[in-house]
């Protein structure tokens, strides 16, 4: 996708900022299986969350409420908190090339670190609360609606 096409796609995109603050948690496989033994230590099905298991770790993305509720079962997990979740409310075809690269490059130019997440049909960014205003200023140059 050419840069002009990406800019055109972005201009029609709404960027939503979730009202919650989020925490990323890194667990060992063993800690993950212990957590699964206690169903009370699960995320609410009404709140946004993510679970990604790869060969290195299990990563959880939890809002503050779920993190506090699950904290007793997380043991020695590595934790990074204070994230806001930005969602690009546009369904991108799998043939689209460079959309997320363009967005993260613009944020990198402004020295704003991101954690990029992709769902089946939408891309998301985790931005630290302290960087949120700057990220919205950068993105505001390219999108019609920030909310």
Q: Which fold has domain 23-81?
A: Alpha-Beta Plaits (3.30.70)
> Which CATH code is given to the segment(s) 3-20+83-142?
3.30.2130.10
Q: Are 114 and 125 contacting, i.e. CB atoms less than 8 angstroms apart?
A: yes
Q: Do domains 3-20+83-142 and 23-81 have the same CATH topology?
A: no
Tokens in use for 29?
A: 């496989």
> What is the per-residue pLDDT for 1?
62
> What is the per-residue pLDDT for 123?
94
9: Cα within 13 Å, side-chain hemisphere: 20
pLDDT less than 70: residues of the chain: 1
Concatenating the DSSP letter of every residue in 36-90 gives HT-GGGS--TTS--EEEE-SS-EEEEEEHHHHHHHGGG-TT-EEEEEEEEEEEES
> What is the per-residue pLDDT for 8?
86
Every domain of the chain and the residues it spans: 3-20+83-142, 23-81
Instruction: Find tokens 């055109």 and name the residue.
Output: 8
How many Å apart are CA 120 and CA 98, to the nearest integer?
16
């Amino acid at each position: 996708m050419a840069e002009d096409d990406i800019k055109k796609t972005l201009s029609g995109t709404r960027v939503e900022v979730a009202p919650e603050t989020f925490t990323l948690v890194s667990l060992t496989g063993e800690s993950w299986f212990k957590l699964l033994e206690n169903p009370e230590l699960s995320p609410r099905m009404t709140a946004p969350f993510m679970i990604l298991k790869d060969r290195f770790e299990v990563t959880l993305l939890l809002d503050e409420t779920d993190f506090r509720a699950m904290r007793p079962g997380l043991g020695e997990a590595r934790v990074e908190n204070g994230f806001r979740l930005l969602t690009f409310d546009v369904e991108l075809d799998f043939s689209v090339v460079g959309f997320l690269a363009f967005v993260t490059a613009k944020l990198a130019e402004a020295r704003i670190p991101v954690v990029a997440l992709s769902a089946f049909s939408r891309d998301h960014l985790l931005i630290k609360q302290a960087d949120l205003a700057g990220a919205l200023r950068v993105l505001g140059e390219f999108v019609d609606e920030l909310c």
